[in-house]
Copies of this chain bind each other. A is one copy, B any other.
Amino acid sequence: MSQWDIRHVIHDLQQVRHDWRESQHRIKEFGGRELPSKEALKEILNDLCGVLFPMRLGPSELRQESEDYYIAYTLDRVLNHLYRQITLTLNYESKRLNLQQNHLHQQELAQQIVQNFADELPNIRRLLDADVLAAFDGDPAARNVDEVLICYPGIFAIIYHRIAHQLFKHVPLISRIISEIAHSATGIDIHPGAKIGKGFFIDHGTGVVIGETCIIGEKVRIYQAVTLGAKRFEIDDQGLLKKDYARHPIVEDDVVIYAGATILGRVTIGKGSTIGGNVWLTHDVEPYSQILQSHSQQKSNHSAI
């Protein structure tokens, strides 16, 4: 007998799992786990960062003469790893939806997704180069572009987002895990569905939330604690939340949004506008507008707060 009396705990946990699976119609469960692995995806993203920026985010001993060897081997390997996670995920999704399993089709689809993803990597790098330049240009504290790439949480978040976004259409679960890895590391929460133009810069970043159906133009700059969220949730005829409809802001080119601003709903912030700190905004804004919060404050010595 164990020092700890755990038999009843094991039994009760069994019962809770049983209840859960029954409530989720999963009594006949899979043999092995078919969810993608967060740890595997962390490694995949690390390798992809090395492929995209070999001399700055690759292995510290890498020499420039060997860049292409490193990239070829790492890219080939990381695509195999990604393929495995995608296959797991497609399997899981079709089981969850009680679709008839067609492994051959799933494998072909996974291959297609991976190859398309690989083809997009040079474009992703181009976008990210523009993001780095935008950060350097937009922050008086930035000393050089390499500091921006290796230090700035906003850059970390956008690298992960651009990768996650590329995978979002076919394997949203994987994208979501990737974006939460970045969220945990940076405090910046960008839904992988959001569309973001080039030259995007988030400074400081903690508390930023960018929703699933956001559309952000080029050269947009935002600061910490900015929310681009949904105004309210629509309910369908059965009283359930409607999912999958456009409910987050459109932010046009060259907009700047200062810290703590909250923009909610499918509104459009016109090109070149500036949204002040802590502004609360739920309607459209014309191009080249400047929106400020009215800051009425009382100042009183000796009064308690």
Task: State the A residues within 8 Å of B (CB).
Answer: 1-6, 8-10, 12-17, 19-20, 24, 29-33, 35, 37-40, 51-52, 54-56, 58, 60-77, 79-80, 92, 96, 114-115, 118-119, 121-122, 125-126, 129, 137-147, 150-153, 172-173, 176-177, 180, 183-187, 189, 191, 193, 204, 206-207, 209, 211-212, 224-225, 227, 229-230, 232-233, 241-244, 247, 258-260, 262, 264, 274, 276-281, 285-286, 288-305
Contacts and interface: CB of A to CB of B under 8 A. Distances in A.
A76 B73 CA distance: 12
A13 B125 contact: yes
Q: Indicate how many identical chains form the complex.
A: 6
A184 B182 CA distance: 10
Given A125-B13, A209-B259, A73 B75 contact: no
B297 A280 contact: yes
A42 to B, nearest CB: 13
A230 B29 contact: no
A303 B206 CA distance: 28
A39 B160 CA distance: 19
Given A15-B122, A63-B31, A304-B232, A241 B6 contact: no
A15 B288 CA distance: 36
Contacts of A80: 3-4, 61, 63, 66
A66 B76 contact: yes
A303 to B, nearest CB: 6
B140 A230 contact: yes
B153 A183 contact: yes
Given A56-B35, A73-B74, A230-B140, A264 B277 contact: yes
Nearest to A264: B277
Contacts of A31: 3, 63-65
B60 A37 contact: yes
Contacts of A8: 119
Contacts of A191: 141
15 contacts: A6-B118, A9-B121, A10-B72, A16-B129, A17-B54, A39-B60, A138-B241, A140-B243, A141-B212, A153-B184, A189-B204, A204-B209, A206-B206, A290-B302, A294-B297
